[in-house]
């Protein structure tokens, strides 16, 4: 005696379609053979669940079953019994096993165009002030004659006959129904009878484009500028990708950069180092920045000018200008200068250069020890 279909699904006879479908999904996931290591009992249970659902999901079959029971599907009472339609398991299989078992039916969406990269080299002055520049690059753009459709102007795409416009075809493998992209239309659900001569049915062509790029003040190596929709055009009229401009700042003969700080080295005479004074540093901003030199400054000492460095990218203010002092020993002296230096040397007591005196005192002490 065959089991009652309502009992197989565990629902009442007055259950609505939603309750029946929910019960079927739950039981199908529970007793699916691939989740139970091929258990024969579960396989038989799975088949009976599928047969019961195939009957009760159909209003006409369910009405016949409610009136005549299993006899409704015997010879002379409406033909063969209900057969399991495993195509309804696509969404369940996708939940359990992923999209390899088909997933939701329907044609595939046109894929978006690829994002592109362009490397732009700018000077440190350009990075300071910002600039507008034009770049040229070859990129796939939407075909103008066919407007991206891929079809000869005046003609149209038609539905694929192999997949009936669904974009997918089904193949039965035992208990399973596997869905794959249609090999005839490649998942689009449409085919082109007369491809456009310009793009050969692709819907896009390669073309050298001139693009305007705004480089903002404060850019640094690795700064990325995004131009939305300026990447590769998508096939068959699909949306284009984006273009990413990667900035590279050239080296500078005077300044080095670290973030928003600008570094430079300034040689000064040993008389300026001893007596103090002022030096003028031309900045990238076009201004002359005066740096006060304290008397007795030593080489490698760094002096800082606030707000004279690089602009803050997309922000306010500027970094600092940092000047590293290098005391230069004179190499070309006149006779008078040499005479003055000898007079100075004769008056030295050792207190003029405490670090030097201290070093040699430590050295002598160490050698005696």
The annotated binding site for Zn(2+) is made up of 143, 146, 160, 163, 182, 185, 196, 199
Q: Residue 280: beta bridge partners?
A: 290
The rounded distance, in Å, linking the Cα atoms of 112 and 191 is 19
Taking the CB of residue 251, how many other CB atoms lie within 10 A of it?
Answer: 9
Helix segments in 267-326, DSSP class H: 270-275
What residues are designated binding site?
143, 146, 160, 163, 182, 185, 196, 199
The rounded distance, in Å, linking the Cα atoms of 310 and 131 is 15
Which residue shows structure tokens 């070859």?
A: 138
Is the alpha carbon torsion for 116, 245, 230, 314 positive or negative? positive
In degrees and rounded to multiples of 5, residue 42 shows phi and psi of -70, -35
Q: Are 341 and 333 in contact (CB under 8 A)?
A: yes
**Which DSSP helix (H) or strand (E) runs through 29?**
helix 17-31
Residues contacting 286, CB < 8 A, separation 6+:
none
The rounded distance, in Å, linking the Cα atoms of 43 and 6 is 19
Residues contacting 121, CB < 8 A, separation 6+:
248, 249, 250
Residues in the chain: 369
Q: Are 40 and 47 in contact (CB under 8 A)?
A: no
């Amino acid at each position: 005696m065959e089991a009652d279909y309502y009992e197989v699904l565990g629902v009442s006879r007055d259950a609505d379609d939603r309750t029946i479908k929910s019960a079927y999904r739950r039981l199908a996931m529970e007793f699916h053979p691939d989740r139970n290591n091929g258990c024969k009992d579960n396989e038989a249970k799975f088949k009976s669940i599928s047969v019961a659902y195939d009957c009760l999901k159909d209003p006409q079959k369910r009405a016949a079953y409610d009136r005549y029971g299993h006899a409704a599907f015997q010879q002379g009472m409406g033909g063969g019994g209900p057969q399991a339609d495993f195509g309804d398991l696509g969404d369940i299989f996708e939940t359990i096993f992923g999209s390899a078992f088909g997933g939701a039916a329907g044609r595939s969406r046109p894929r978006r165009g690829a994002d592109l990269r362009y490397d732009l080299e700018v000077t440190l002055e350009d990075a300071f002030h910002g600039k507008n520049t034009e770049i040229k690059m070859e990129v796939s753009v939407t075909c103008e004659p066919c407007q991206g459709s891929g079809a000869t102007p005046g003609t149209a795409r038609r539905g694929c006959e192999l997949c009936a416009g669904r974009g997918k075809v089904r193949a039965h493998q035992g208990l399973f129904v596997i869905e794959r992209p249609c090999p005839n239309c490649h998942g689009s659900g449409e085919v082109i009878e007369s491809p456009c001569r310009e793009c050969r049915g692709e819907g896009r062509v390669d073309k050298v484009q001139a693009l305007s790029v705004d480089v903002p003040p404060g850019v640094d190596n690795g700064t990325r500028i995004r131009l939305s929709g300026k990447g590769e055009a998508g096939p068959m009229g699909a949306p284009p990708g984006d273009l990413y401009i990667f900035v590279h700042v050239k080296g500078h003969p005077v300044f080095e950069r670290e973030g928003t700080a600008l570094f430079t080295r300034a040689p000064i005479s040993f008389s300026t180092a001893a007596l103090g004074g002022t030096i003028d540093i031309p900045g990238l901003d076009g201004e002359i920045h005066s740096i006060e030199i304290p008397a007795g400054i030593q080489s490698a000492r760094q002096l800082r000018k606030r707000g004279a460095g690089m602009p803050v990218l997309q922000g306010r203010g500027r970094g600092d200008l940092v000047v590293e002092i290098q005391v230069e020993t004179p190499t070309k002296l006149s006779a008078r200068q040499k005479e003055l230096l000898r007079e100075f040397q004769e008056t030295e007591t050792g207190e003029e250069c405490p670090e030097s005196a201290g070093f040699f005192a430590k050295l002598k002490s160490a050698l005696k020890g």
